[in-house]
Amino acid sequence: MISYVSSALASLLLTLSGLVAAEVPAAPASVAVRIGAPAVPTPSSGVRMVLSSPLDRQVFQRATREAGAMVFEGEIAGEPGDVVEGQIAGPGMNDAWRPLVTLAPGAQRFRATLTAPAGGWYPVTTRLRRGTNVLFTTPVAQVGVGEVFVIAGQSNSANHGEEHQTVKSGRVSAFTGSGWQVANDPQPGASGNGGSFVPPFAEALVLRFGVPVGIIAVGAGGTSVREWLPRGARFPNPPTVLAHVTRREEGDWESKGGLFNAFVSRSRAVGPRGFRAVLWHQGESDANQADPTRTLAGDLYTRYMGELITQSREAVGWSAPWFVAQVSYHTPDDTGSAEIRAAQAALWKSGVALEGPDTDTLVGVLRDTGGKGIHFSGPGLREHGYQWSVKVGAWLEGQLGLPSAGALTWPPLVLPGTENFTVAGRPAFAFLPPEGKRSSPQPWILYGPTLRGHPDEAERWMHERFLAAGIAVAGVDVGEAYGSPRSHAAFDALHQELTRRGFAERACLLGRSRGGLLVTSWGLARPERVSGVAGIYPVYDFRTYPGVTNAAPAYGLTPAELMARSEEFNPIARVGILARAKVPVFLIHGDSDTVVPLEQNSGEFARRYREAGVESLLKLVVLPGQGHNMDEGFFRSRQLVDFVVDRARAGAR
């Protein structure tokens, strides 16, 4: 049945559409897709607008775990009072046009930002309006907010591997210098025409964090750290390759600065803090050179790397983090230099750089020409990328406040009887009822999402009443799994641990928002362990949130593959499993929810129960005028609490 109730309090709306900050400084003339191609004006407009940002497939560096700023900028010719507006579409966005800039007299360029949720791809459109007349409309099909990395060093940071690597998810882009493209090898901006570690590295991060990844490659094969120093930097002995250095009359050597300038130019192209970190993979051309006079001493390597990092930060305009790998391998007969390895490690120990992977350990079949070469084979490139993703991913989890193997976090809501523990290496929690109200087997609720920040203070009233009724609550952090079967192992581990402690075999599932995807996906795979399903504006259709593009990496599939297999994986398509098992359901949802639309989620769940002839087992409460918010109608619902308590007890019978 469906009932409508009034909200208890005015809602605190949580929208994913951004705030606007605008200014009108100088910016380079460019285009939405390629440099120099303006949008088509209306025949009588007599004005023009040429965009330099956003570009198709561009990835903007997110500022927080949740969001980042998209930059809108370009060249403009119009009249005072004309308005430039932007629109970001996609899951969680209301598709509203947002004012960016109102043109002042004589304005020739504009720049503004819109905050957008981390994720993508998003369709983004910019338009120029005069009153009600739209003069230009410039759409960009795919724009993302995620993680961006600059990759520098010598050949194994560039395109010299034995096999081209490709992007599977479609969510990794490479900066070309004037635009962005799919980051299939070879990587633009780096030397060589072979394979690189970039696609497997970036794909691993897409899967781990669920956001697009952008790459700015600048590696140059055969280069010493000496060649990367700024112009005029001096050193006593030359590298093996002299293309980027020159000899001074005094007999010592100096850098020409070309590589440094290229690094700075490409790094600055994405703006201040426009990338997350620099990944540096270099050292072979400083270690164990055939001409010993070209070998660089370890203390000088540490010194020059320190100078490079410090001066590049000054030139780029902010203190960008640097990862430095441990690299010195040449061949099976020259497996590395202890001196250069120690010099690289010294940078980590002093805090100048972060620790990258030790790729000197990647030998044998992981090297080209049957294990005899200095570069990586196809399997070696994939392992190289994986090793980078391990180092960068663990650090990035800390930057974003996400749980990792070395830094686990638990929900902020703490109640009497709270216990935090780990299962399958993931943080888990249990709210236990007072001693006098516990029973055997213990009735319990499987809650989701157990992510940083959930369950939170808004849910205190609800959870206190569960505990007072003798019902335990538990959950495990499976990350942004979006219902992927890959998350089921952690839920299984939690179930095994709790039943070992005397909890009931069956639990009532309670999913808030995307937690609906998480716990219900597991319940559909294990219906014999489910005594009931409850949801607070729950997501059941991943096509509505987070969208197929954002969900696909969690499933290890491309968006097209996930869409083609939607009937197999999408929880809403599989509701019949619960209906046939006659599992009772209680859902509460707002009729104005634009983040998780009622009709495609709770409404569709109810429709499928009706079609299965078990409508009496489901109750859907709709809150008029409410969206995806913190209204007390959601979190102080006596009907929801009574249902969950009843079904948890039923699971223990």
What's the structural domain count of the chain? 3
Residues 231-235: what's their mean pLDDT?
Answer: 96
Q: How far apart are the C-alpha atoms of 149 and 142, rounded to whole Å?
A: 19
Distance, in Å, from the CA atom of 274 to the CA atom of 163, rounded to the nearest integer, reads: 30
Please tell me the distance from the alpha carbon of residue 620 to that of residue 637, in angstroms, as a whole number.
13
Positive or negative CA dihedral for 266, 271, 272, 273?
negative
Above 60 in pLDDT, residue 24?
Answer: no
Residue 572 counted as domain residue: yes
Whether 524 and 615 map to the same domain: the answer is yes
Query: What confidence score (pLDDT) does residue 386 get?
Result: 83
Q: CATH no. for residue 570?
A: 3.40.50.1820
Same domain, 301 and 445: no
Q: Phi and psi dihedrals of 258, rounded to 5?
A: -65, -45
Residue 461 pLDDT greater than 90, yes or no? yes
* Domain edge (last residue) among 400, 426, 449: 400
**Is the backbone of residue 119 left (phi > 0), alpha (psi -120 to 50) or beta?**
left
Range of weakest confidence among 95-99, 219-223, 307-311 = 95-99
Q: Check if the beta carbon of residue 124 is closer than 8 Å to that of residue 139.
A: yes
User: Is the confidence at residue 272, as pLDDT, over 60?
Assistant: yes
Q: Are residues 225 and 116 in the same domain?
A: no
Mean pLDDT calculated for residue range 625-646: 93
User: Quick check: is 516 in a domain?
Assistant: yes
pLDDT score for 81: 95
**Confidence band of 309 (pLDDT split at 50, 70, 90):** very high
Q: Please, which residues have CB within 8 angstroms of residue 44's CB and are 6 or more apart in sequence?
A: none
Least confident of 86-95, 135-144, 391-400, 596-605: 86-95
Do residues 356 and 423 share a domain? no
Same-domain status, 345 and 228: yes
Same domain, 338 and 290: yes
Are the beta carbons of 416 and 464 closer than 8 angstroms?
no
The whole-number pLDDT of residue 422 equals: 81
pLDDT of res. 47: 83
The residue behind tokens 């010194």 is 303
Is residue 571 a contact partner of residue 483, using CB atoms and an 8 Å limit? yes
30's CB contacts (< 8 A; 6+ apart) are 36, 50, 51, 52, 53, 55, 74, 75, 178
Annotate 163-180 with DSSP letters as a single string: S----SSS-EEEE-SSSE
Which of 31-45, 176-190, 402-416 is the least confident region? 31-45
Q: Which of 400, 428, 455 is the last residue of a domain?
A: 400
Residue 245 CB coordination number (10 Å): 22
- State residue 235's pLDDT score: 96
Residue 342 lies in a domain: yes
491-547 tens-digit pLDDT: 998 999 999 899 999 999 999 999 999 999 999 999 999 999 999 999 999 999 999
pLDDT of residue 414: 78
CA angle 607, 610, 611 (to 5 degrees): 90
Same domain, yes or no: 278 and 369: yes
402 — pLDDT class (breaks 50, 70, 90): low
Predicted pLDDT at 453: 63
Q: State the pairing for strand pair 530-536/507-512.
A: parallel
Are 481 and 580 part of one and the same domain?
A: yes
CATH number of the domain that residue 65 is part of: 2.60.40.10
Question: The tokens of 21 are what?
Answer: 């900050």
**Angle in degrees, CA 415, 403, 517, rounded to 5:** 80
Domain for residue 592, yes or no?
A: yes
Answer whether residue 413 is part of any domain.
Answer: no
pLDDT tens readout for residues 541-566: 999 999 988 888 888 888 889 999 99
CB-based contacts of 15, cutoff 8 Å, min separation 6: 92, 94, 594, 595
Handedness of CA 116, 122, 128, 130 (dihedral sign): negative
Structure tokens belonging to residue 316:
């780029």
Q: For the sheet containing 109-117, what is the strand order?
A: 20-23, 109-117, 67-77, 48-53
pLDDT at 72 over 70: yes
Its pTM stands at 0.61
Asked, for residue 57, whether it belongs to a domain, the answer is yes
Coil/strand/helix, residue 412: coil
Residue 334 has pLDDT above 90, yes or no: yes
Tokens at residue 586, please? 């209680």
Closest CA to 588 of 511, 532, 475: 511
- Whether omega for the bond prior to residue 186 falls within 30 degrees of 0, making it cis, is yes
Same domain, 529 and 434: yes
Q: For residue 15, what pLDDT band results from cuts at 50, 70 and 90?
A: very low
- 92 pLDDT more than 80: no
Q: Give CA–CA dist 73/94, Å, rounded.
A: 22
Q: Is 409 part of any domain?
A: no
Q: What is the pLDDT of residue 38?
A: 44
| Same domain assignment for residues 280 and 425 | no
Find the range with the poorest average confidence among 220-234, 252-266, 406-420, 421-435: 406-420
Of 110, 144, 178, the one marking the end of a domain is 144
Average pLDDT over residues 175-183: 97
Tell me, what CATH number does 327's domain have? 3.40.50.1110
- Specify the pLDDT at position 411: 67
| Angstrom distances, CA of residue 492 to CA of 401, 429, 479, 574 | 25, 14, 15, 20
Per-chain mean pLDDT for the chain:
88
pLDDT of residue 190: 98
Q: Residue 33: which pLDDT band, with cuts at 50, 70 and 90? A: very low
Compute the distance between CA of residue 114 and CA of residue 90 in angstroms, rounded to an integer: 14
Neighbours of 452 (CB within 10 A): 16
546 prior amide bond cis, ω within 30? yes
Same domain, 266 and 356: yes
Minimum mean pLDDT range among 2-6, 65-69, 272-276, 422-426: 2-6
Rounded CA separation 204/162 (Å) = 20
Whether residue 405 is contained in a domain is answered as: no
Given a contact cutoff of 8 angstroms between Cβ atoms, the answer to whether 227 and 304 are in contact is no
Domain containing residue 304: 154-400
List of residues 6+ apart from 35 with CB closer than 8 A: 29, 52, 178, 179
Compute the average pLDDT of residues 106-129: 93
Residue bearing the bigger pLDDT, 406 or 427: 427
What does the pLDDT average to over 299-313?
96
Spatial separation of the C-alpha atoms in residues 409 and 177, rounded to whole Å: 40
At 568-616, the pLDDT tens digits run: 999 999 999 999 999 999 999 999 998 899 999 999 999 999 999 999 9
Do 227 and 369 have their domain in common? yes
